[in-house]
Amino acid sequence: MSDGNRFTGVAPALVTPMRPDGAIDHFALEDHFSWVLHQGVDVLVPCGTTGESVTLSDEEQKEVIAACVRISRGRVPVLAGAGTNDTRHAAELAAAAAEAGADGILSVTPYYNRPTVDGLIAHFRAVADASGLPLILYNVPGRTGLNVTPDDLFRIVDAVPAVVGVKEASGDLAQIIGVLHRRPPGFVVLSGDDELTLPVMALGGDGVISVIANEAPGPMSELVHAARDGDWSTARELHATLLPLMRANFATTNPVPVKTALELMGRAPANFRLPLLPLSARSEVRSTLRSALEIAGLIEPFAPPGT
């Protein structure tokens, strides 16, 4: 098995900034990717769920990944999202990501068609063969309708050596413990939920593919690096400060809250492609986000006029 340790630490699941007409805002994208990189993150992850990959064309995905590679300039690895439920298409996306310069592939389990374990093995083998890159398997049953259990995961790993790690977003800590206890040497286990990062790392996990690292890349990097160094007091303190924002980011469908938060921070406009819509000005989620950003120290507390 290839060693997946280069994909450990904090890996922001990068948003894809867009213009009001739905086109990619390349200026805002490069600005955001550069800002996040310079806050001390360890890996960059373009074109995942948070990056709205399902509504990007194949050519747009390749452009976003290439921009990420160009901005990184080899300073951190680029783990490119390149997954779908059609194996042939997933293999094409992975090959394009490799051509764009990605260092690894974040490959989601096929959604909706819910294949057997043998089908998953064939799927990931095809993706690995097409890209020639290491794969991080993305297990997110809340989106795919398919949960990869530890038994299933390690059947896949045994059959497809290119699978060097897992992004575990089942939300099931007992399942994640099962993965951690059974993993072979060099196999990376990344939390797929910001809120579970601290407990997963306390149990031996290797980091997180993170939504909040779009808004708070510096503090989230400090949290993970403190946990990695055994400084649990600092890690717990940062976790408590960031927890309201971690939860607010999922008060409605991701990435609507995180893009809205970035707009509140003055970093990038909150534009989306249908079927996602922006939050209304009176949305309770917007108020929750503002409060969480204030607690995290990312925006100044709101002062009513005249105060």
Q: Residue 82 corresponds to which amino acid?
A: A
- Residue 88 has which token pair? 């042939």
Which of 62, 112, 138, 259 is labelled catalytic? Answer: 138
Question: What is the CB neighbour count within 10 angstroms for residue 274?
Answer: 7
Question: Cα–Cα distances in Å, from 92 out to 66, 118, 133?
Answer: 16, 21, 13
Residue carrying structure tokens 């286990």: 189
Pairing status of strand 79-81 against strand 104-108: parallel
Which of 62, 112, 167, 259 is labelled catalytic? Answer: 167
Q: Give the DSSP per-residue string, 134-174.
A: -EEEEE-HHHHS----HHHHHHHHHH-TTEEEEEE-S--HH
d(CA 293, CA 299): 6
112 tagged catalytic: no
**Helix, coil or strand: residue 206:** coil
Q: What are residue 250's phi and psi, to 5 degrees? A: -125, 25
Q: Residue 261 corresponds to which amino acid?
A: A
Q: Which residues contact 92 (CB under 8 A, 6 or more apart)?
A: 58, 130
**Helix, coil or strand: residue 94:** helix
259 tagged catalytic: no
Number of residues that this document lists for the chain: 307
The catalytic residues are 138, 167
